[in-house]
Amino acid sequence: MCGIIGIVGTRPVAERLIDSLKRLEYRGYDSAGVASVEAGRLERRRAAGKIRALEEVLREQPLGGTTGIGHTRWATHGGPSERNAHPHIAGRVAVVHNGIIENFAELKRELADAGHVFESDTDSEVIAHLIDAELNAGLEPVAALKAALDRLEGAYAIGVLIRGEDELVMGARRGSPLVVGYGQGEMFIGSDALAVGPFTNRIAYLDEGDYVAIDHDKALIFDAAGAPASRPVRVVAASAALVEKGNYRHFMEKEIHEQPDSCQHTLSAYVDPIERRAAPPHGFDFAGIERLQIVACGTASYAGLIGKYLFERLADLPVDVEVASEFRYRDPALRAGTLALAISQSGETADTLAALRWCKTHGLTTAAVVNAHESTMAREVDVLWPTHAGPEIGVASTKAFTAQVSVLAALAVAAARQRGRIDAAEEARLVGVLLEAPRLLAEALSAEEAIQALVQDVAKARDVLYLGRGAMYPLALEGALKLKEISYIHAEGYAAGELKHGPIALVDEQTPVIIIAPSDAAFEKTASNMSEVIARGGRVILITDPAGAAHAPEGSRVITAPACDELIAPLVFAAPIQLLAYHVAVQKGADVDQPRNLAKSVTVE
Ligand code: AGP
């Protein structure tokens, strides 16, 4: 994730920007830059590499002013270089950006046709040109920002400086976090409480779609519709900022809502948005293997099951998925040409580690999809595919799960290309689909109120069934696990087609049946399962997209997620099942972040 800081201050701004950027290094980056305004001038300093390279530039060419913005960049569009480092400048406007602008190519063409000259390969630069064009059209700064934001598709957090406005910094967020810091006669914006921690511990968290203008004394906040808004100011101990809950009641809630950002950050390490191709780290060649053996536990094993559907359908690569605790003790008949792939948030789960080591001793090449990049698994495998979800504190895995699925989806596209199953055009299309996932995840999360309306119904149940077909079947297993592990309600996930082979005996008026069914090829078959349930007095909660909702059977309750390509449906539809489990657990007064009997990492067999 990129890091953002903005300051309207009373002291020299350069070293303060650097101080803040150093606190954002944990987010990972490959270049950095700052800009400031002073006496009608807008100046910028940038450097590839670490912040000390930028400090060297500032020693040689000091930056004046008390108002400025800064950025640490994790390269998405365009390689890590000074030219692509933020801030980006167009005319009077300097911008720093965290996120992915999905429609940047068409915006760039439109602006270039209008005479704008671009200097970088990034998507972010179009934001500066859009705002500058609106200023030139006569709009005031805040109106120019809003007009530009209305043109953007994708996830973003941004900071903006305007030449001649020496006491103004503007910001906006959609899908990536941004906070406002309240100082004494000075104001701040930043990616999180840590970014503004050196200057203040009074923080307001912007909501989805908010944009803001700060000067020395105040923040003018506007909501997505452009109406003035106020956000509560909280006191946050900067030291705890990295693992603090922000505006959320639980880490799990915060981590559910971080998923557009963590998904985007993970995907940016696995796809090249300019060339529109899958570009996983390590460059493993899937054409050189005959089979993939996935070993994992719990939620990670359900991510692996989703991977099976994706690898087999896209890459024609046979995949076995097995819970690690069973795999190792049954003397599996493995063959050469099999890649052993562990999936783990912690990288320390004893069952998974033991299974991985078993594969290694039997001569297999080993790989791991891991969130803890220095963990035992990460250090022992031949091939490391990291997720970039950031620290996951809640015991119930959420953002790590969608990050795992993001990696597996990108790897499946890369494997399909390497194994000659798709051409460059189809690869480009699928990469475009992956790049939509952060925005669609954010949209899926906006169904939270509709989900809360169903909570009573589920919270009083003794048993709950989750049903799904295709890649929605592993998601049904994950939804059941989420519910049972944090609300202690017995829940089971089934392949929807299995209902009539036994589980339908459980269906009565007391049993909510949660059916995860986008309007895909399997929808019609699942619709008949829904009718079977309703005919027996069962209570159906259908999680679907708008087209599916239009065909929801009489008597079913519907949660609508955005329509999306089947490649990313497991990502987008993870949001409602996580939110449902979370709000039921809150309703039941459960200890959401530390459920009874559970540990975040099970380091014993
Ligand atoms: C997920 O919500 C659970 N907390 C649990 O199933 C977890 O996924 C499992 O223990 C595996 O942990 P790992 O990903 O750290 O290996």
Q: Determine if ligand 1 sits within 6 Å of the CB of residue 344.
A: yes
d(CA 53, CA 29): 13
Q: Determine if ligand 1 sits within 6 Å of the CB of residue 412.
A: no
Determine the atom of ligand 1 nearest the C-alpha atom of 601.
15
Q: Is the CB of residue 207 less than 8 Å from the CB of residue 229?
A: yes
With 80 as the cut, is the pLDDT of residue 346 above it?
Answer: yes
d(CA 35, CA 405): 37
pLDDT score at 281: 92
Mean pLDDT value of segment 102-116: 94
pLDDT score at 555: 85
pLDDT score at 604: 61
pLDDT score at 39: 93
Q: How far is the CA of 210 from the centre of ligand 1 (A)?
A: 34
d(CA 188, CA 525): 54
pLDDT score at 243: 56
**Pairing outcome for strands 463-468 and 154-162:** unpaired
Give 347's contacts (C-beta < 8 A, 6+ positions apart).
368, 370, 371, 372, 373, 375, 376, 377, 378
Binned at pLDDT 50, 70 and 90, residue 237 comes out as: low
Q: Determine if ligand 1 sits within 6 Å of the CB of residue 594.
A: no
With 60 as the cut, is the pLDDT of residue 283 above it?
Answer: yes
Q: Determine if ligand 1 sits within 6 Å of the CB of residue 578.
A: no
Amino acid letter for position 602 = V
Distances (CA, A) of 170 to 38, 274, 489: 16, 28, 46
Q: Which helix (H) or strand (E) holds 305?
A: helix 298-315
Q: What does the pLDDT look like over 60-78, one tens digit per residue?
A: 999 999 999 999 987 766 7
Q: Is the CB of residue 222 less than 8 Å from the CB of residue 228?
A: yes
Q: Which residue has the higher pLDDT, 507 or 583?
A: 583
Residue listed under structure tokens 């406007």 = 93
For a pLDDT cut of 90, what percent of the chain falls above it?
A: 75
Closest CA to 134 of 162, 156, 153, 106: 162
Q: How far is the CA of 297 from the centre of ligand 1 (A)?
A: 6
With 70 as the cut, is the pLDDT of residue 605 above it?
Answer: no
Q: What is the DSSP string of 148-180?
A: HHTT--EEEEEEEEETT-TT-EEEEEEBS--EE
For a pLDDT cut of 70, what percent of the chain falls above it?
A: 96
Q: How far is the CA of 229 from the centre of ligand 1 (A)?
A: 39
d(CA 402, CA 384): 18
Q: What does the pLDDT look like over 377-390, one tens digit per residue?
A: 998 999 999 999 98
List residues bridging with 41 in a β-sheet.
38
With 80 as the cut, is the pLDDT of residue 239 above it?
Answer: no
CA 437 from centre of chain: 8
Q: 271: helix, coil or strand?
A: strand
Q: Is the CB of residue 176 less than 8 Å from the CB of residue 159?
A: no
Catalytic residue check, 600: yes
Binned at pLDDT 50, 70 and 90, residue 27 comes out as: low
Mean pLDDT value of segment 19-42: 87
Letter string b/e over residues 242-271, b meaning 16 or more CB atoms within 10 A of that residue's CB: eebbbbeebbbbbbbbbbbbbbbbbbbbbb
Alpha helices, DSSP H, located in 369-469: 376-380, 399-418, 424-445, 448-452, 455-459
Binned at pLDDT 50, 70 and 90, residue 242 comes out as: low
Label residue 320 exposed, middle or buried (CB < 10 Å: 0-12, 13-18, 19+).
middle
Q: Which residue has the higher pLDDT, 30 or 445?
A: 445
pLDDT score at 151: 97
Q: How many helices (H) and strands (E) does the chain have?
A: 21, 27
**Average per-residue pLDDT for the chain:** 92
Half-sphere exposure in the Cβ direction for 135 (13 Å, CA) = 20
Q: How far is the CA of 559 from the centre of ligand 1 (A)?
A: 26
Tell me which of 138-142, 205-209, 572-576, 584-588 is least confident: 205-209
With 70 as the cut, is the pLDDT of residue 85 above it?
Answer: yes
With 60 as the cut, is the pLDDT of residue 297 above it?
Answer: yes
Q: Determine if ligand 1 sits within 6 Å of the CB of residue 298.
A: yes
Mean pLDDT value of segment 394-412: 96
Binned at pLDDT 50, 70 and 90, residue 30 comes out as: confident
pLDDT score at 356: 95
d(CA 511, CA 371): 36
Closest CA to 304 of 248, 260, 345, 263: 345
Distances (CA, A) of 58 to 14, 33, 131, 159: 8, 10, 27, 20
What is the SS3 string spanning 307-356? HHHHHHHHHCCCEEEEEHHHHHHHCCCCCCCEEEEEEECCCCCHHHHHHH
Token reading at 441: 């995840």
Q: Is the CB of residue 469 less than 8 Å from the CB of residue 519?
A: no
Give 501's contacts (C-beta < 8 A, 6+ positions apart).
none
Q: Determine if ligand 1 sits within 6 Å of the CB of residue 247.
A: no
Residue listed under structure tokens 């990049």 = 373
Q: Is the CB of residue 209 less than 8 Å from the CB of residue 224?
A: yes
Q: How far is the CA of 600 from the centre of ligand 1 (A)?
A: 7
Determine the atom of ligand 1 nearest the C-alpha atom of 485.
2
Q: What does the pLDDT look like over 300-324, one tens digit per residue?
A: 999 999 999 999 999 999 999 999 9
Catalytic entry in 2, 263, 359, 564: 2
Q: What does the pLDDT look like over 31-67, one tens digit per residue?
A: 999 999 999 999 999 999 889 999 999 999 999 999 9
With 80 as the cut, is the pLDDT of residue 456 above it?
Answer: yes
Q: Is the CB of residue 354 less than 8 Å from the CB of residue 605?
A: yes
Tell me which of 8-22, 391-405, 413-427, 497-511 is least confident: 497-511
Q: Is the CB of residue 312 less than 8 Å from the CB of residue 319?
A: yes
Binned at pLDDT 50, 70 and 90, residue 367 comes out as: very high
Mean pLDDT value of segment 199-219: 94
Q: Determine if ligand 1 sits within 6 Å of the CB of residue 98.
A: no
